[in-house]
Chain A
Amino acid sequence: MKKEIPLAIVFVAGVFMAVQFFVPHAGSEWIYEFVMEWTIIIGIFALALGIWSLLRVSTTKIKRKMENWPYAVVLLAGLVSMIIFGMGFMGGVESYMFRHFFNHVMIPLHATMFSLLAFFIASAAFRAFKARSALATVLLISALVLMLRFNPYLGPVGDLDADLASWILNVPNLAAKRAIIIGIGLGMVATALKVILGIERSYMGSD
Chain B
Amino acid sequence: MKIKIIALMAMLLLLASVGWGQEEAAIDSTVQEVIPPGPPLNLKAFDKPYDNGHAIDLTWDLSVDDGAGRNNIIEYRLMRADSPEGPFVERKKLEMGKTEAEDKGVKEPDDPNYFPREHDFYYKVVAVTADAEAESEVVGPVRGIGQWYNAGKNPVAVAVVLFTVFTIYFIFKAKKGAELYIRPLAGIDAVDEAIGRATEMGKPILYVLGLGTAADIATIASFTILSRVAQKVAEYQTSLIVPCYDPIVMTIAQETVKASYYSAGRPDAYNQDSVFFVTNQQFAYVGGVNGIMLRDRPATNFYLGKFYAESLIMAETGAVAGSIQIAGTDEVTQIPFFVVACDYTLIGEELYAASAYLGREPVLLGTLKAQDYAKALVIICCIIGFIAASFGWTWFVEQFHVGN
Contacts and interface: CB of A to CB of B under 8 A. Distances in A.
B227 A202 contact: yes
A192 B217 contact: yes
Interface in B126-178: 146-150, 153, 156-157, 160, 163-164, 167, 171
A23 B148 contact: yes
Given A51-B277, A67-B295, A188-B217, A203 B283 contact: no
A56 interface: yes
Interface stretch (B19-27, B56-64, B88-96, B349-357): B349-357
A202 B224 contact: yes
Contacts of B215: 39
Interface centre among A29, A120, A125, A207 (most CB of B within 10 A): A120
B330 interface: yes
Pairs of residues from A and B, 7 with the lowest C-beta to C-beta distance, nearest first: A205-B259, A50-B247, A187-B352, A50-B277, A187-B349, A113-B283, A183-B349
A59 B375 CA distance: 51
Contacts of B309: 114, 117
Given A43-B247, A121-B312, A23 B220 contact: no
B352 A188 contact: yes
Given A51-B277, A184-B330, A22 B374 contact: no
Contacts of B50: 24
A54 interface: yes
B389 to A, nearest CB: 15
B86 interface: no
B259 A191 contact: no
A187 B171 CA distance: 16
B278 interface: yes
Interface string A194-207: 11000110111111
Interface stretch (B7-15, B29-37, B72-80, B340-348): B340-348
A206 B148 contact: no
Contacts, number: 204
Given A25-B52, A29-B52, A182-B378, 14 more contacts: A23-B149, A24-B150, A39-B215, A47-B280, A50-B250, A54-B276, A124-B312, A124-B337, A186-B163, A186-B374, A190-B367, A190-B371, A195-B220, A205-B260
Contact of A47 (B150, B247, B284): B247
A154 interface: no
Contacts of A177: 332
Interface in B326-376: 330, 332, 335, 337, 339-341, 347-353, 355, 359, 361, 363-364, 367-368, 370-371, 374-375
B316 A109 contact: no
A97 interface: no
A106 B281 CA distance: 10
Interface in A91-148: 106, 109-110, 113-114, 116-117, 120-121, 123-125, 127-128
12 contacts: A46-B246, A50-B277, A68-B295, A106-B284, A113-B284, A113-B287, A120-B313, A123-B316, A189-B160, A191-B221, A200-B364, A202-B359
A50 B285 CA distance: 13
Contacts of B383: none
Interface centre among A23, A25, A42, A121 (most CB of B within 10 A): A25
A124 B336 CA distance: 10
A51 B281 CA distance: 13
B158 to A, nearest CB: 11
A190 B150 contact: no
Contact of B312 (A53, A120, A180, A205): A120
Interface in A23-69: 23-26, 29, 39, 42-43, 46-51, 53-54, 56-57, 60, 67-68
B252 interface: yes
B17 interface: no
A18 interface: yes
A21 B157 CA distance: 10
A181 interface: yes
Contacts of B66: none
B167 A193 contact: yes
Given A180-B348, A188-B330, A191-B217, A53 B276 contact: yes
A161 B150 CA distance: 46
Contacts of A68: 295
Given A120-B316, A190-B371, A205-B263, A110 B283 contact: yes
A178 to B, nearest CB: 9
A118 to B, nearest CB: 10
A16 interface: no
